[in-house]
Structure 1
């Protein structure tokens, strides 16, 4: 472990275990994700989100390639989360109907006949904003109800966006993990269905479906890279809250490519680094962090790892990094102000932290040993997934226009 001007690093020795001792990634197999993508393609709103190639920036950072998958274009919701919530709700309804997913489309699930057979279902979740908006949107599209609880400090704009999708929503006085417990308790009291993008003992089925839903992103990205005539990434930087998103992407890559998968760097905010804490503990078990979890990276402000994704991240991710807020802010400014002919990407706090970290690895002398160990050189092809746009416009403007959370050399 090293401490470089408040960025913490940890190489994960668990990746060196024999494959037979690692958790399975079979639930993210190519065959399974074929079904997921087919379901998402059945949405009338479906389009492949852009994969932007930042060639000028790659040259500036002395690497071969930098791609940014821009999820701000996903279904008009400004974030990727709807992919997980919609697939999980679709799977839940398919089980209620007794029909396999490959016989159903999103349009079929919207029909009055399905509503008459299933009745009215209320889906409930806890969220900092993006996941709840996706669940609310999917429930509303399918003629069902949604109730959404948000942790204290959540942006009012995100609350308004969730309510605009027809959900009953409120900001609590609890942190994220306690808000999850609140949602689960209300579900038990009222007969609601929890659609949560984290897992705990006894609650694994729906979180597994959510992780499968997220894998549409990496399937699209790899196909876009092939279509452009490029080779697959050598490196991928994945931001982490509870770990569902990162576990989905890494699990798919591990199942598809095995030992030839891209080297993975897991990136967390310093106020909510539960995966880093779990790796440092070196006992193979997930560990929680507590407190208010105050960070501008609201989508990553989670203190308890997803019990499903934890095993994947523990067994297959090479590096863990913990970043202060200025790293995310720097990534946002870099994407908003591209060099040369590079395209502009509007990326929110949780979406930009990976690129912010790449920029510091390229520029800071004190990080050169890490850069060398990662082999971030002219042969490196780096994939970043910008998971959200300006979902909190006030904070976005303050950072990009006014220079909030500056990087001080």
Structure 2
């Protein structure tokens, strides 16, 4: 159920692309968007006591811009940077509500997505009065398709997996002269994925600011989920610069069906995973690491984990059904994986051995990022109400 590897390649080296200064610039952009407010950092003291740690702090991204997920942070910042470059303006001069008036005609942005990233791009394109075309891999839930179309974007479901859908979106963008806004990178396509990962730093900057104001204090352990590693790398890069890489342990978790970061961690170099990549964690079902953020994960992660779907399902049930006195957090499959990981690390014989290696114990302040809410409501109910994917 749990595969764990301590990172043999840790150096603690920080990356200037994901510094605290860069995070301030991305947050300043997001702060000028109508409806911006920091999402809650929820403390779960009773669960912390039960699991044997000092504190558990959960960043609840279901409250982000009314979109039920964090991904809009990356998509909106990337679109802002693209438009700023197109108009030869500074990003600080980009106003989502007025930028369209500076263009002769709307631009067309396209992307491939498992759901949340495409929602963010569609929302940002709508806010900026631009157009969006979103591609989704085979088996994508209709709820995600409907949500993206409801934001005014065209949404096309393919008959291939996520990584092949990315290639299709790229090909279509080149053929039509559209702007690809993809949250993974490859040789020759690195600038926009970098901006997307930088956009995610707003979430981490808020979390550190909030933790500093709480009696629980700054994290000693941060559990991050990874698909291609765009969010995990961006957040970890910021935290390593802001807190000092040696002052906390970062544990990176993925679904077993698409554990490219786990395998890359073992190998010390990027390793791709192929096949259907089928997982309830659709947002993490990616087989090819992002080369922009992989070096950060290699240099600053303490451990890597590969876990079965039922681990994420357990995290969903724990967060949605809290101990008396703790606050409920509605977390989707990709959002709850880290809570499931923490629970198994602290409550099972196998897990406790790994927890000791990670330094998890009674003095630990653990920070988690619940990156989405119930973005697939029907499956959320099957898991949380009906017990699907039980341990």
Under TM normalisation by the shorter chain, which class is it? over 0.9
Q: Is the 8 A contact 2:245 2:300 kept in 1?
A: no
Any idea what the Cα deviations from partners look like across 1:312-357, whole Å, max 9, x if unmatched? 1011101001000110000000011001110110000000010011
Q: Is the 8 A contact 1:49 1:71 kept in 2?
A: yes
SS of corresponding position for 1:308: coil
Indicate which of 32, 38, 56 corresponds to 1:66: 56
Match for residue 8 of structure 2? 13
Match for residue 49 of structure 1? 39
> What TM-score, normalized to structure 1?
0.94
Any idea what the Cα deviations from partners look like across 1:254-310, whole Å, max 9, x if unmatched? 1223344420000000000001111222xx321100000111000000000001111
Indicate which of 345, 350, 353 corresponds to 1:369: 353
Give the Cα separation in 2 of the matches to 1:190 and 1:103. Answer: 29
Give the Cα separation in 1 of the matches to 2:322 and 2:346. Answer: 16
Match for residue 296 of structure 1? 280
Match for residue 137 of structure 1? 123
Give the Cα separation in 2 of the matches to 1:97 and 1:261. Answer: 41
Indicate which of 138, 156, 175 corresponds to 2:142: 156
Indicate which of 103, 111, 119 corresponds to 1:115: 103
Match for residue 159 of structure 2? 173
Any idea what the Cα deviations from partners look like across 1:135-194, whole Å, max 9, x if unmatched? 001001111100000000110000000000111101110000000000000000000000
Any idea what the Cα deviations from partners look like across 1:193-213, whole Å, max 9, x if unmatched? 000000000000000000010
Match for residue 65 of structure 2? 75
Give the Cα separation in 2 of the matches to 1:134 and 1:366. Answer: 38
SS of corresponding position for 2:293: helix
Structure 1 gaps, min length 5: 1-5
Give the Cα separation in 1 of the matches to 2:386 and 2:223. Answer: 27
Q: Is residue 338 of structure 2 the alignment partner of residue 348 of structure 1?
A: no
Give the Cα separation in 1 of the matches to 2:58 and 2:215. Answer: 16
What is the CA distance between 1:99 and its match in structure 2? 1.2
Give the Cα separation in 2 of the matches to 1:254 and 1:167. Answer: 36
Give the Cα separation in 2 of the matches to 1:320 and 1:65. Answer: 22
Indicate which of 297, 317, 325 corresponds to 1:313: 297
Q: Structure 1 stretches (4+) deviating beyond 4 angstroms?
A: none
Give the Cα separation in 2 of the matches to 1:138 and 1:115. Answer: 16
Task: Provide closer, same or farther for how the CA distance between residues 259 and 393 of structure 1 changes in structure 2, counting only shifts above 3 A.
Answer: closer
What is the CA distance between 1:29 and its match in structure 2? 1.5
SS of corresponding position for 2:74: helix
Give the Cα separation in 2 of the matches to 1:187 and 1:343. Answer: 44
Give the Cα separation in 2 of the matches to 1:354 and 1:142. Answer: 34
SS of corresponding position for 2:188: coil
Give the Cα separation in 2 of the matches to 1:261 and 1:133. Answer: 35
Q: Is the 8 A contact 1:115 1:143 kept in 2?
A: no
Any idea what the Cα deviations from partners look like across 1:375-407, whole Å, max 9, x if unmatched? 211110000000000000111000000000001
Indicate which of 15, 40, 47 corresponds to 1:25: 15
Greater alpha carbon shift after TM alignment, 30-39 vs 210-219: 30-39
Q: What is the aligned residue count?
A: 391
Structure 2 gaps, min length 5: none
SS of corresponding position for 1:372: helix
Indicate which of 155, 179, 182 corresponds to 1:193: 179
Give the Cα separation in 1 of the matches to 2:234 and 2:265. Answer: 18
